[in-house]
A and B are shown apart, each in its own frame.
Chain A
């Protein structure tokens, strides 16, 4: 049942992404179909995650499969919320949903092992830390998707206009709003992670690879916001820089486990 529900979710997400792309390229309004498919996929995915949680006795925090699955879920949730709440975000689905689809494809080729839930994970700080991290990545995805449309030439500009953003300046403002949200939530992720690390391993910061690269992502975000507000970067430069920060964040979240054998979660 767990696998079937996950399959249904993947199908829903995949179709939603396809509809978003077709809508953008063919200039069709398929928004209700995208919302319906995303919401349906999200419900099926939620049920699948809940069943797995019940079966293995812990949340999706341990194995690469679990991390990817929970991120697909949270990115879709954040994007759907933005899609419903901010109309101008809708054209960005043509960029954001294919990215989520790539994560899904990765998840499907990853071994779904249960992993072992360390005792140091039995704390509410885990949920706060992971939750803030997921909102951070979701907000950054929305920002980057808008940014990618901004630098995609006439098709991107057309899509943004269709969403009610007639010029680059307004599109940039939208991207910056979500970037600011991402910055606040990444800050909260780092603070709650430090509190947890102090309780669990007796140090609030140890420059382990994931801490190092999370801090570098925070620094890049801070530098970008500072440059934008004090040096008046051009909208396209801002959009490119946002895409760069997003790539850095993705490499940090999903690439570090492959680069380093050091366990962010401490000795098991």
Chain B
């Protein structure tokens, strides 16, 4: 390969990069991103792929423009603004690869052991959930008349690696943050049935909870099917309340219902249980201990969050500085 060929190739590469960074292409790509966003919003399930592709093309255009457009580099504020935009796109993409979103439910007194009910994680997510421990120590929710939800306060204790517990009051706009994982209370919460299962085979008794559907959203559907642990026996329970647990006619708080019956059905047999009652089945004995409450949490992990914020802040400041100088200069000149 001689010097002429090399120079031709360099010239071609430069032309390609300049073409990719062309201001006219920027305009076309802004329109393309706009179309992708509209498509993402309108199509059921979204159009994540085309949206990501449009943003990737815009990022390539931005990077090429930063490399080849001398005017863009000549003005520091304008350069920093465009660099911030590029960094935001790169960070958002990194975030998608490393982020985790999930949900979990914890009854009062229950410890989070890393298990999630739903989970969506990027392929590069460094899973450290199993190391985290916190216990739901109970919550209060204020309601205005008509079941309009007010302030939520959830007491939790988080346990460090040394086993020491630290109390936190979370809820609404205050998440519990553990090793970058942010746990949020949600509007999803309800009653849980506390049962003790004593197997006949001599195995140790087990205590557990059955979470009923979210309350008061599912006021008239307070029933749940479940399987008795270690057996193939299906059971169905329904909470039968004499009156709504939260009075919708006045300001109130989330509270456990007073008078109630638990309808229990298994193997075609129907029983009504009150706290302390038990029911015998061939595999063992179930004891209904009472009701408690469960809270639904959303967990979110994205290590790029502080960097996104920093880039956005720098970008906006740079943009303001650019316009301030540009129009200030023109204003003085006019």
Contacts and interface: CB of A to CB of B under 8 A. Distances in A.
B173 A184 contact: no
Interface in A83-128: 116, 118-120, 122-123
Contact of B173 (A188, A200, A219): A200
State the 9 A-B residue pairs at the shortest beta-carbon distance, nearest first: A230-B23, A180-B323, A223-B30, A202-B184, A119-B172, A116-B148, A199-B173, A212-B41, A202-B300
Interface in A155-211: 170, 173, 176-177, 180-181, 183-184, 187-188, 191, 194-196, 198-204, 207, 209
A27 interface: no
A216 B26 contact: no
Given A191-B313, A230-B27, 8 more contacts: A116-B148, A122-B151, A177-B327, A184-B320, A199-B174, A201-B298, A207-B46, A231-B23
A212 B37 contact: yes
Interface stretch (B123-131, B254-262, B263-271, B304-312): B304-312
A188 B316 contact: yes
Interface of B: 23-24, 26-27, 30-31, 33-34, 37-38, 40-41, 46, 101, 142, 144, 148-152, 171-175, 182, 184, 186-187, 298-300, 305, 308-309, 312-313, 315-316, 319-320, 323, 326-327, 330-331, 334
B149 A118 contact: yes
B117 to A, nearest CB: 15
Contact of A268 (B142, B149, B151): B149
A207 B23 contact: no
A227 interface: yes
A101 B195 CA distance: 64
Given A180-B327, A204-B308, A219-B34, A209 B148 contact: no
A149 interface: no
A213 to B, nearest CB: 8
A268 B186 CA distance: 10
B238 to A, nearest CB: 26
A61 B172 CA distance: 18
A245 interface: no
Contacts of A120: 172-173
A106 to B, nearest CB: 25
Nearest to B184: A202
A173 B330 contact: yes
A187 B320 CA distance: 10
A204 B38 CA distance: 19
B152 to A, nearest CB: 6
B26 A230 contact: yes
Q: Name the residue in B31, B186, B315, B323 with the highest tally of chain A Cβ atoms < 10 Å from its Cβ.
A: B323
A267 interface: yes
Interface residues of A, number: 42
A267 to B, nearest CB: 5
Nearest to B302: A204
B230 to A, nearest CB: 36
A119 B312 contact: no
A204 B184 CA distance: 13
Q: Name the residue in A187, A188, A194, A198 with the highest tally of chain B Cβ atoms < 10 Å from its Cβ.
A: A198
B319 A219 contact: no
A160 to B, nearest CB: 14
B316 A184 contact: yes
A226 interface: yes
Given A207-B41, A215-B37, A119 B150 contact: yes
Contacts of A216: 34, 37-38
A231 B27 contact: yes
B252 to A, nearest CB: 14
B185 to A, nearest CB: 10
A231 B308 contact: no
B144 A116 contact: yes
A33 interface: no
Contacts of A184: 316, 319-320, 323
A119 B151 contact: yes
Nearest to A183: B319
Contacts of A230: 23, 26-27
B305 A204 contact: yes
Contacts of A187: 312, 315-316, 319
Given A184-B320, A202-B175, A268-B149, A219 B305 contact: no
Contact of B175 (A191, A199, A215): A199
Contacts of B299: 202
A146 interface: no
A119 B300 contact: no
Contacts of B326: 180
A120 B171 CA distance: 9
B39 to A, nearest CB: 11
A219 B150 CA distance: 36
Contact of B312 (A176, A191, A219, A268): A191
Contact of B27 (A123, A204, A212, A223): A223
A220 B326 CA distance: 21
5 contacts: A187-B319, A191-B316, A201-B184, A215-B37, A216-B34
A220 B152 contact: no
A242 B31 CA distance: 16
B196 to A, nearest CB: 34
A122 B151 CA distance: 9
Contacts of A234: none
Contact of B30 (A173, A201, A222, A231): A222
Contacts of A215: 37
Contacts of A199: 173-175
Q: Name the residue in B174, B184, B315 with the highest tally of chain A Cβ atoms < 10 Å from its Cβ.
A: B184
